[in-house]
Chain A
Amino acid sequence: MSGTFVGMPAFPVAAKEAVGNPTLRGNLRHATHTIRAKRAKAVEEVSDWAELREAGKRIKDHTLRHLDRYLVQLEESVRAAGGTVHWAADADEANRIVTRLVQETGESEVVKVKSMATQEIGLNEALEAAGIRAYETDLAELIVQLGKDRPSHILVPAIHRNRGEIRDIFRAEMSEWGRPAPDGLTDTPAELAEAARLHLREKFLRAKVGVSGANFMVAETGTLVVVESEGNGRMCLTLPETLISVVGIEKTVPTWRDLEVFLQTLPRSSTAERMNPYTSTWTGTTDGDGPRVFHLVLLDNGRTDTLADEVGRQALRCIRCSACLNVCPVYERAGGHAYGSVYPGPIGAILSPQLRGTGSEIDASLPYASSLCGACYEVCPVAIDIPEVLVHLRERVVQGGPVVREGNRVVLKPAKGHAAERAAMRAAGWAFGRPGALRAGQRVASRSRRWHPRTLPGPGRAWSGTRELPAVPAEPFRDWWQRTQDGKGDAK
């Protein structure tokens, strides 16, 4: 993934700052609770939601199992429709391809549809290094870009900002990028939207090159699909002469018919809408309509490696609805930036360490960024068992083991920093394997209870800093049982 997150500290350190920031906490709490409640209502309306969820899961699993076949079919369909297909093994290759394609048009600026894939590879930074300016046109992405900020949510990248902050950003930054903010701009939603509309319209009408991602790619026809709320994406898809779409290979579906499922589950799960306002589809090029030139860059960047993991591969079913973020109690407190990835929240905690590997401090800490409450699994419209994958990745972090990286089987060593925990787990495992040892330990704890400290040293301090410790009782249960109910139990 993008190099922009290299050097991020581990999740608990990054989260601490957000937890202590009342404005951020307030913004996140308000936004996630609002959309969470709306989503629940939108889903309740659909009588066959469980069946749709199962169908989505099956379509995705089937496609992933035969991805090699469907990708070849997709490539043939796109070519037949007049497009050109490029294959990118990693972020660098994808960035090189897109940069070259833009340079070949002779242009030095592009307009962009909101796209997770291009954020994942750090395309804007790569284009900038080549002297090409990329303008984000999604309203929230515009706010993030103008604010020299990072997105903190998959669907609502500026979720961490309130209206006052957005007004200040528009006033201070718009003029640097194009049309300045109107004089006397206030923080009312209508005025903010109008300022963005005026600013963006100039860019839409001027741009010769558009860059997009896609929510789905239909193998049978070579059609790409973008689902959005604002219509800005449709402007980028239809006005420029050249359109370059960068899409992760897992976004493939076999047929148009399969879209029927996702075009129901995605909008309800993401924005709580029955149907999203704009669904744009494009198939190659057509004379007299839309872009003259169409390029599709198919991005791997760790996806094939992820596909090789039989537990973790389910993360590739993700349709980027972000329902898991909105319902996650950890995301709500820690915010999206703490995850150190363009994919924050529960899905980010399982996707990023798979796409990037668990080598960095932040990636090794992400599988632990969850209380395993299961709310994410419950809301996931393609039934990704996120807690299962989190625990699976924890195992990878503490135990190491075989994984596939860049197509090769390698054996990972256990991550550093878990030695004390490993020893404690081993000791606990030893005692729990021997009821006599457990009982002896309980008795020592009970009999020494008057001398127990009120605060704990070492890692335990993290507990006693905010919570009282439970008092150890005078007698463990098993002693009471033997004393009072002796003979009833199986006393072996």
Chain B
Amino acid sequence: MRVALFLTCVNDTLYPDTGRAVVKLLTRLGVEVDFPMAQTCCGQAHYNTGYRHQAEPLARHFSDVFGGYDAIVTPSGSCGAMVRELYPRMGERARAEGRGDGLATTLAPVVPKTYELTEFLVDVLGVTDVGAYYPHTVTYHPTCHGLRSLGLGGRPYQLLKAVKGLELKELPGAEECCGFGGTFAVKNSDVSAAMGADKVRNAASTGAEVLCAADNSCLMHIGGTMARLSTGMRPVHIAEILASTEEEPAV
């Protein structure tokens, strides 16, 4: 199986540790991972802000880069949802605008092959115990797109519960949005900050050392709020927890 890592532009630029963790984890599980160097961005920021036509070339580029792989794995629920849920919709809209089936046909091959990381582990590889060791108390925030667009459901919890040494704390109001929402965080900054502060307060109430999620964009917002509110908690991507072992523990 030829598996490609779609790291996303945010992770590539700001969170390379997450990318290294995914490579380490998948390699440990016997998967050969490629990182196609031509990859850039799925176009989600453009699409969600109202620039659908500018997202189209990025979606085409994504299909060009990843179309030849058997599976495309991404450690981002929202970018995964962009491909799986919104690429088909972009194709439909182009068709409705009288531009034919071109875009839909171009994008169709990558849609069913794109998996969010926890989905790939549980559904494709069929593992829930990835042999990880992480001696910390952790609470899990199910990000909106992972939860509602991709329907990740219990998968991340199954994976975390199987991690040795990890104590999982239930997050009150887990399913409520953290307030990031891409450009929403800037356009509606006051509401976004209030949502972030509530999320961080709920997380702090669990007493966990770490808040973990499957999307670094949300963690960037939550972590930035945690630092400002001085909670002493850390945001950590789930890939880094699952990649951590007794021989090579993550901090």
Contacts and interface: CB of A to CB of B under 8 A. Distances in A.
Nearest to A15: B191
A397 B188 CA distance: 16
B137 interface: no
B37 A330 contact: no
B16 A476 contact: yes
Kindly state the interface size class of chain A when it binds its partner.
35 or more
Contact of B9 (A367, A377, A432, A465): A432
A371 interface: yes
Contacts, number: 212
Given A428-B45, A466-B193, A460 B50 contact: no
Given A368-B184, A372-B144, A467 B11 contact: no
A225 B50 CA distance: 39
Contact of A421 (B13, B14, B49): B49
A472 interface: yes
A391 B47 contact: yes
Contact of A368 (B32, B43, B61, B187): B187
Contact of B181 (A373, A480, A492): A373
Interface in B178-235: 179-197, 220-221, 223-225, 227-228
A467 B221 contact: yes
B57 interface: yes
Contacts of B177: 329, 371, 373, 375
B12 interface: yes
Contacts of B149: 374
B124 interface: no
B173 to A, nearest CB: 9
B49 A12 contact: no
Contact of B58 (A375, A432, A492): A432
A280 interface: no
Contacts of B227: 467-468
A476 B12 contact: yes
Contact of B16 (A367, A372, A477): A477
A45 interface: no
**Chain B interface secondary structure, helix, strand, loop or mixed?**
helix
Interface stretch (A112-120, A137-145, A481-489): A481-489
B191 A469 contact: no
Contacts of A388: 89
A145 B18 CA distance: 55
A147 B17 CA distance: 56
B226 to A, nearest CB: 8
Contacts of A367: 50
B175 interface: yes
A16 B190 contact: yes
Interface of A: 11-12, 15-16, 19-20, 25, 310-311, 329-330, 333-334, 367-375, 377-378, 388, 391, 393-399, 421-422, 425-426, 428-429, 431-435, 438, 442, 445, 459-460, 462-463, 465-470, 472-473, 475-478, 480-482, 485, 488-492
29 contacts: A12-B189, A15-B190, A16-B190, A19-B191, A333-B195, A334-B191, A368-B188, A370-B184, A371-B184, A373-B176, A373-B177, A375-B176, A391-B47, A393-B50, A394-B49, A394-B50, A398-B49, A422-B51, A433-B61, A445-B13, A465-B193, A467-B225, A470-B220, A473-B15, A477-B13, A477-B16, A485-B23, A489-B34, A492-B36
Given A399-B50, A480-B19, 17 more contacts: A12-B188, A15-B188, A368-B184, A371-B188, A373-B176, A391-B48, A429-B46, A429-B51, A432-B41, A435-B38, A467-B193, A467-B227, A468-B224, A473-B15, A477-B15, A481-B37, A488-B33
Interface of B: 7, 9, 11-17, 19-20, 23, 32-41, 43, 45-55, 57-58, 61, 89, 93, 96, 144-145, 148-149, 175-177, 179-197, 220-221, 223-225, 227-228
